[in-house]
Structure 1
């Protein structure tokens, strides 16, 4: 396993463990987006274009979910 894969796995594990301790949705989605993007970067380095594309699309979806969670949390505070 490469270092990039271990960092991505650790980030995803931190997100899932944080979910057990009431981690806000914006942080959960942001950590999963980071893990997906790191996994996509690792797939690019390994020469796996389909996996890289899948990871990058998944990372973009989680980043959108994190942005939406930040926006809704901001609207609730007003």
Structure 2
């Protein structure tokens, strides 16, 4: 079991969880409450449809992972 103890690790995990939720929304799964798509758009200011937002989020994740190495 892995423990995430730093703020950066927790934020990175949250972004990955949002990416996974957005992938499921693209496939048609729905959730109660605010969608991952709207959370991501609000938080990061991305524009476009779900697929474009997913691509932008993946670029952001790659950027963060590149800086952490």
**Higher Cα radius of gyration:** 1
> Which structure has greater helix proportion?
1
Q: TM-score by structure 1 length? A: 0.45
Q: TM-score by structure 2 length? A: 0.49
